[in-house]
A and B are shown apart, each in its own frame.
Chain A
Amino acid sequence: MPERDRGQSAGGSALAGFGRYAGPATLILSSLADGAKHGYALTKDVEEFAGVRLAPGTLYEALARLESQGLIEALESDDRRRPYRLTAAGAAALQAHLDAQRRVTETGLRRLRANWGVS
């Protein structure tokens, strides 16, 4: 799986470079992992699974960055609402990012359980 390994490495660093846009970018990539969506459908899906409403400016700022990095791609569309889909590099980037977040989450929960008795 050399291609995938390279993709994971490149993808992880790609999303890390998003800085303060990593939050919206992660939400968008997570939404697109379920299939291609246009802007409005993305907003609704993110609102449903994360409880966060991405404002239009923020959404398109992140979409433009993700597209320029090759993590998502625009699909042809007959109407004005252009859908986007996740690329292989985007999937790798999302996985690397979520893996890193999971390590943080698991460490935090383990320490809370050990020192604070939180179940």
Chain B
Amino acid sequence: MRTPAERAGRLLRWYPRAWRARYGAEFTELLIADIAERPRSAARTLDVARGGLVARLTGAGLAGLPLASTEGPDPLRQVRAGIGTLSAALAVCLAVGAAMWSQLTIAWQWTSPLDAKSPAMRATLVMSAAMLAFLAIAALAALPVIYVVARNLSRSRLGKPMLGPLLVLAVAVAVLAVGGHHFGNGWPGTGGHGEDGSLFPVIPAGLQAFVWALSLWDSSIWVHPAWLAALPAQELAWMAVCPIALAVATVAAVTLVRRAELPPWLLGYQTGLARLACAIMVIFAGGCGYWISIGGGPGLAHSGLIDIAGTAVVALALGVALEARRTAMRALRLARS
């Protein structure tokens, strides 16, 4: 039989660490008193679980008003949390969206001039423009963050907490760069229309091949054991390692952003860019939805169940990104007021 203090301690685990640091002691006292009055209460357990979930979502910048820290209310912390979650959600959009986009660009390389004006190819153009715009915005967002991180690294107090995630990020990016370059050599678009027939003269074939290699893992091949068995072991290993490296790189980048103590002006700049990035991703998701709604396209531009699932993931991640942006904006207004 557990004591009320032990039971309260177990209930407290529903809450994130930062919340526990601020409210844990007093909340435990209240729980002990409540348990003494009502020894068994499923409603209390559910209420605490729900409260813990909300606190976790709030900590991720996804729900509710700004967080209070041990030093008091801290809206800027909430902005950083929102931007971190927003970045992660957009990274998911990009990773999953890239797989569909890659398939369509390969289809484009091989499509006949007759099919070049098909609806699927028009959707490809829209998605390509969105993808390029998104990458440009990502670069615009990353550059000042890199500057702040580099500046903070020179100061031991600010730089120390960033060393860990920076190292992890560097390793993950190195894995992705080397693997992407190596496996990109097997890009199925090679040998297509090339310079003359390419409808993407502004997107170098090397970039298309690289993106394709990074999205190889997003494939229906996982549910076809015979096809899997026929794959070279090296490629199979890459398909397993690549999503892990992508996830590790995303988490490390988000941790870095949250620890970098970005100044308020930069947080404002990032939330402004995020609005644009979300709008572009809405266009991209619209292109995916259109492509699927018309039943795919000719040849390699056909769509399947995995593309429906991919579009759903992009839409879901986009919803998370929009909510994180809304929370970040609200917290930023509060910080400025």
Per-residue CB proximity of A18-56 to B under 8 Å, as 1/0? 100000000000000000001110010000000000011
Instruction: Tell which of B27, B48, B55, B67 touches A39, judged by Cβ atoms closer than 8 Å.
Output: B27
Which residues on the B side are within 8 Å of A60 (C-beta)? Answer: 23, 27, 30, 51
CB of A61 within 8 A of chain B?
Answer: yes
Q: A17-B65, A56-B31, A68-B68 given as contacts; is B73 within 8 A of A80 (CB)? A: no
Whether A57 pairs with B29 at a CB distance below 8 angstroms is: no
Is the pair B47, A68 in contact by a Cβ cutoff of 8 Å? no
Interface residues of B in 236-251 (CB under 8 A from A): none
Q: How far is the CA of A82 from the CA of B70 in the complex (A)?
A: 13
Among candidates B22, B28, B48, B64, residue contacting A80 with C-beta atoms closer than 8 Å: B28
Does B52 belong to the interface (CB within 8 Å)?
Answer: yes
How many residues in B have their beta carbons less than 8 Å from beta carbons of A? 32
* In the complex, B323 has a CB within 8 A of chain A: no
Mark contacts of B58-96 with chain A using CB atoms, 8 A cut-off: 1 yes-contact digit, 0 otherwise: 000000111110001111000000000000000000000
B55 touches A64 (CB 8 A): yes
Give the Cβ gap from B80 to chain A, nearest Cβ, in Å.
Answer: 15
CB distance from A8 to the nearest CB of B (A): 15
Q: Write out the residue numbers on chain B whose beta carbons fall within 8 Å of the beta carbon of A61.
A: 51, 54-55
| Known interface pairs A38-B26, A40-B30, A40-B33; A56-B65 also in contact (CB < 8 Å) | no
Task: State which of A55, A69, A80, A81 has its C-beta within 8 Å of the C-beta of B44.
Answer: A55
Q: Flag whether B207 is at the interface (Cβ < 8 A).
A: no
- Nearest neighbor of B31 in chain A, beta-carbon distance: A56
**Does A91 count as interface, using CB distance less than 8 angstroms?**
no
Please state if A80 and B55 are interface contacts (CB–CB under 8 Å): no
| Pair A65/B26 contact, Cβ less than 8 Å | no
- Count the A-B residue pairs with Cβ separation under 8 angstroms: how many? 75
Smallest CB separation, A12 vs chain B (Å): 15
**B48 and A57 form a contact (CB under 8 A):** yes
User: Which of A55, A68, A70, A81 has the most chain B CB within a 10 Å cutoff?
Assistant: A68
Check A93 for interface membership: any CB of B closer than 8 A.
no
Q: Mark A74-90, 1 if CB is under 8 A from B, else 0.
A: 00000011100000000
Complex-state Cα separation, A64 to B26, whole angstroms? 12
Nearest CB in chain A: distance from B58 CB, A:
8
Chain B neighbourhood of A17, CB < 8 A: 65
Question: Is chain B's interface secondary structure helix, strand, loop, or mixed overall?
Answer: helix
With A56-B27, A60-B27, A81-B29 in contact, is A69–B51 under 8 Å at CB? no
**A70 pairs with B26, CB closer than 8 A:** no
Decide yes or no whether A59 CB sits under 8 A from chain B. Answer: yes
- Whether the pair A40, B55 counts as a contact (CB closer than 8 A) is no
User: Does chain B have a CB within 8 A of A101?
Assistant: no
Do A56 and B55 touch (CB < 8 A)? no
CB atoms of B50 and A69 under 8 A apart: no
Alpha-carbon gap, A43 to B180, bound state (A): 58
Question: A60–B15 Cα gap in the complex (Å)?
Answer: 11
State how many angstroms separate the Cβ of A14 from the closest Cβ of chain B.
9
B331 to A, closest residue via Cβ: A68
Q: Which residues of B contact A (CB under 8 A)?
A: 19, 22-23, 25-31, 33-34, 43-44, 47-52, 54-55, 64-68, 72-75, 334
Apart from A38-B29, A56-B30, A68-B74, what are 5 other A-B pairs with CB-CB below 8 Å? Answer: A38-B26, A43-B30, A56-B51, A64-B22, A68-B67
Interface residues of A (CB under 8 A from B): 17-18, 38-40, 43, 55-61, 63-65, 67-70, 80-82
10 closest A-B pairs by CB: A57-B51, A55-B47, A57-B47, A39-B30, A57-B48, A80-B25, A68-B73, A68-B68, A82-B26, A67-B68
